Amino acid sequence: MSPLPGIAPMSVPPAAFLAAGTILFVIGLIGALLKRNALSIFLSIELMMNAVNLLFLTWGRMRGDASSHVIVFFVIAIAAAEAAVGLAVFVALFRARQTIEVDRVNLLKW
Amino acid sequence: MKPLYWIPLLPLLGFVLNGAVALASSSRRARRGEGGERLPYGERLFHGIVGVGSVGAATVLAFGALVPWSEQAFAGRALPVVETAFTWMFAGDFSVAVAFRLDALSALMLSFVTFVGTLIHLYSVGYMQEEEGYGRYFAFLNLFMFAMLTLVLGANLPVLFIGWEGVGLCSYLLIGYYYDKDFAAAAGKKAFVVNRVGDVGFVLGIFGVLALFGTTDFSFLEAAKQQVLSGSAPLSVYAVCLLLFLGACGKSAQVPLYVWLPDAMAGPTPVSALIHAATMVTAGVYLVARTSALFVLAPDALTLVAWVGAGTAVFAASIGLAQNDIKKVLAYSTVSQLGYMFLACGVGAFAAGMFHVFTHSFFKACLFLGSGSVIHALHHEQDMRKMGGLAPRLPQTFRTMLIATLAIAGIVPFAGFFSKDQILGSVAAGGHPALYVVGVATAAMTAFYMFRLIRMTFAGEFRGTHEQEHHLHESPATMTVPLWILAAGSVLSGFIWVPMGVSNLLPRFLAPALAEMPEHHMSHGAELGLMALSLGAALAGIALAVRWYTGRPAPEHAAHRPAEEIVVSPAAAAFCGKTGLLGALVKNKWNVDEGIEAGVLGPFRGIGRVLWKGVDALVIDGIANASAFLVELAGDLLRFFTTGNVRNYALGFTLGALVLVAYVLFF
């Protein structure tokens, strides 16, 4: 462990952060695959992104590399934009079909 | 001396001028919806002056070049003159120049090609005046002269080949002159395709010469004379000779490639005279004589040339015996006489072959132009059964044709006697009795069918319609003057080589340009005997023809005879009529066309059918259709992955990502 000068040593071991991030990611993945409500899927995806953010930051810290912060800021910014577009799509979808159950929105097939 | 290349260039210029004016005129007439009638006088005058003038000027230039050269040659001081216009192509140390060569052989060809060519152009002015395609006709005829002069003057094989193909093209264009008639268009196509067969041989022969000598310039002949070959395998010399001879067979209508020439009579008669009798068809003989130095290195190839020539001579003559179309008789006669020329070359008497080329150009052109005059007088009637009794009506035509007929029949002292005698003498002296017998038999047949033509056309009573009889007229002076000049040539051109040492201008002149062959000398007694024999054969043929073809219906049969046999005596009917195997075969031209149809075209059609139905329809289309089917099948199966359910897609993403991660981690 060789922190950069001026940065305090970690009291909680990095493995704990990695574990937390991985667990969050898997929870989000399962949610995204299994939930039928578009909004729930959406939230699960947000969860996965934040889990990934956490992992990025942890690895950056472990390597003493600040560029992970840059990536995380980009992810947050894009997630915000994505949230705006996604929610707008759901509103439009609900107006058209009176539902946001993804299993019932399946006309485009074969 | 004027540069040689102006000689072919002038007719080319004539072609451009005539062609441009004819095109402009025909499109103007088409716009106005006119057509079908003769051209206005001004246009005809233009085409006549440009057409005859360009060739006439070329003739003047040619004689201006060859007369001084020939004087030098007789003094034994002339070397071949080679003028290079420009380099045509080069690659490494191989180069081909557009170059023209004046030597004894090209001088001889040049003299009669330009001379006869000018006369026939002049004749055409009268013969073609009613034709709408007058300008087109003269343009093509000029183009032909350009190509023929290039062929004659070319100083290397590729330039000769350009001329060779050029005359073939013009032949095609002029055979198909009446392109709105099916038979003319088909005849042109036939001539073109049959010539291609020979040309394949010629091109391969040129490559062979290049491989053997490293050059296609005629200087290779000097090397051949000294037998200096770079890769001197005798077998390859044989191959090159046979390939060149195949080319000659195509152009000069030898068995089995002669079939196009009789059909070529579909063109206007002056074209038949110029291209298909006097000049173009002799190009094959010229080629063999030109490369004689190569041929003497391959004696067996020469033997083949002799036998093909003799076979063609007797075979074509036999067909000529029973033709009723006046031009067809002359066409088969041409094939037969070309056979004589190859026979001469084949026994090594190249000079005698060229002598016959020279004399033949006069009397055969005269015969064709005479037949044209007859056809002109009868308004396009070519069937001799509907002629007869024309001698008093067409006196000029009759006299000139009679002179030319005596010449081709080989009656002393007309030109054909000397050249034919020279050939037969060489054959006999060279020790080929079988070939000699064939030659004499052909001479008798020639005399017979030519006098049959004269008797059926000019003797007895007129058998055409009253309408035709009313309009019978002698041809205008532009047609009769060339006839008389050619008739004079038919008499005089033989005197340049009279046997027994009386005159040997021609062999002395040609000797430097031809390969040397061991000469066979005969005693004067033997020579006289052979002459008497061939003369006797010719006279017998004439006597038989005169006796059989009276020009009057045989009285006891006249009432109920088919028109076809009305002019012949019963004996002639038995021989040439449809009865009897020989008669039927001869009448049907030995069924050669049918044989080629069944033996050559049939298999090719079969192969074509297999390639079409089997290879193209099954294999090629099959591959295309099968690949389309596979793509369609794959699509049919794979489209079920598109369920429409987003969660399935999400699962797909996940699995894909897992695979990628696994790949990165474990491989």
Average pLDDT (B140-157) is 94
Tell me how close the Cα of A7 comes to any Cα of chain B, in angstroms.
32
In this predicted model, which residue has the larger pLDDT, B402 or B322? B402
A110 in any annotated domain: no
Cβ-count burial of B204 within 10 angstroms (0-12 exposed, 13-18 middle, 19+ buried)? middle
Does A105 touch chain B if contact means CB atoms closer than 8 Å? yes
Q: What is the percent of chain B where pLDDT is above 70?
A: 93
Are B647 and A29 an interchain contact pair (Cβ–Cβ within 8 Å)? no
Determine whether the interchain pair A36/B650 forms a contact, defined as Cβ–Cβ distance below 8 Å.
no
Domain presence at residue A61 = yes
A3: distance to nearest CA of chain B, Å? Answer: 28
B215 sits in the region (left: phi over 0; alpha: psi -120 to 50; else beta) called beta
Whether residue A109 is contained in a domain is answered as no
The number of beta carbons lying within 10 Å of the beta carbon of residue A93 is 16
CB contact under 8 A, B646 and A36: no
Write out the residue range of the structural domain in which residue A31 sits.
14-98
**Which residues in chain A are closer than 8 Å to B651, comparing Cβ atoms?**
33
B91 shares contact with chain A (CB less than 8 Å): no
Interface test with A, best of B645, B651, B661 (most A CBs within 10 A): B645
pLDDT of the residue at B560: 47
Nearest CA to CA, how far is B626 from chain A (Å)?
23
Residue B519 exposed, middle or buried by CB count within 10 Å (0-12, 13-18, 19+): exposed
Inter-chain CB pairs, A–B, below 8 Å:
31
Q: Do A103 and B645 touch (CB under 8 A)?
A: yes
Classified as helix, coil or strand, B393 is coil
And the tokens for B161?
A: 């080949």
Contact B119, B51 (CB under 8 A): no
CA pair distance A35, B376, nearest whole angstrom: 103
Say which residue the tokens 């290079």 belong to. Answer: B84
How sure is the predictor about B225, in pLDDT bands with cuts at 50, 70 and 90?
Answer: confident
A1 within domain boundaries: no
Tell me whether residues A102 and B646 touch, CB distance under 8 A.
yes
Residue A110 has pLDDT above 90, yes or no: no
Residue A3 lies in a domain: no
Q: Which among A30, A33, A36, A39 is the top mutation candidate for probing chain B, defined by the most B β-carbons within 10 Å of its own β-carbon?
A: A33
Q: How far apart are CA B348 and CA B385, in angstroms?
A: 42
Q: pLDDT tens digits, residue range B581-603? A: 566 666 677 778 888 888 888 89
Is A103 inside a domain boundary? Answer: no
- Give the residue on B whose Cα is nearest the Cα of A34: B647
Q: Which two tokens stand for residue B336?
A: 């037969």
Residue A79 confidence (pLDDT): 93
Question: Is the C-alpha dihedral spanning B643, B648, B649, B655 positive or negative?
Answer: negative
Chain B environment of A34 (Cβ under 8 Å): 647
A102 touches chain B (CB under 8 A): yes
Residue A86 lies in a domain: yes
CB-based contact A33 B643, cutoff 8 Å: no
Report pLDDT for B242: 94
Q: Which of B640, B646, B654 is closest, CB to CB, to A110?
A: B640
In chain A, the number of structural domains is 1
Distance of residue A69 Cα from the nearest chain B Cα, in angstroms: 23
Chain B interface includes A106 (CB < 8 A): yes
The torsion angle over the Cα atoms of residues B153, B154, B160 and B166, rounded to 10 degrees, is -60
pLDDT category, B228, cuts 50, 70, 90? low
Higher pLDDT: B666 or B576? It is B666
Q: Under an 8 A CB cutoff, do B643 and A109 touch?
A: yes
Q: Which of A54-68, B571-585, B586-600, B638-652 has the lowest mean pLDDT?
A: B571-585
Q: Which residues of B touch A105 (CB under 8 A)?
A: 646
Q: Are B53 and B15 in contact (CB under 8 A)?
A: no
Angle between helix B134-153 and helix B104-127 axes, rounded to 10 deg: 170
- Count of CB atoms situated within 10 Å of the CB of B181: 12
Q: CB B646 to CB A105 under 8 A? A: yes
Q: What is the pLDDT of residue B41?
A: 87
A41 to chain B: which residues are within 8 Å by CB?
647, 650
- A107 lies in some domain: no
CATH number for the domain spanning A53: value is 1.10.287.3510
- Whole-model pTM? 0.79
Q: Considering CB atoms only, which of B644, B650, B654 is closest to A109?
A: B644
Distance CA B123, CA B475 (A): 10
Q: How far is CA B460 from CA B333, B368, B386, B463, B546, in A?
A: 24, 22, 12, 9, 11
Is the model more confident about B81 or about B1? B81
Q: List, in sequence order, every residue forming a beta bridge with B89; answer none if it has no partner.
A: B96
Amino acid at B247: G
B161-183: per-residue pLDDT in tens? 999 999 999 999 999 999 889 99
Asked if residue B559 has pLDDT above 50, the reply is no
Residue-level pLDDT at B584: 65
Q: Do B647 and A105 touch (CB under 8 A)?
A: no
The reply to whether A97 touches chain B by the CB within 8 Å rule is no
Inform me whether the pLDDT recorded for A2 exceeds 60: no
The beta strand positions in B437-517, using DSSP E, are 497-498, 503-504
* Contact (CB<8Å) B642/A109: yes
Is-contact B356 B310, C-beta < 8 A? no
Nearest to A107 among B640, B644, B647 (CB): B644
- Which A residues, 23 through 62, put their C-beta within 8 Å of a C-beta on chain B? 29, 32-34, 36, 41
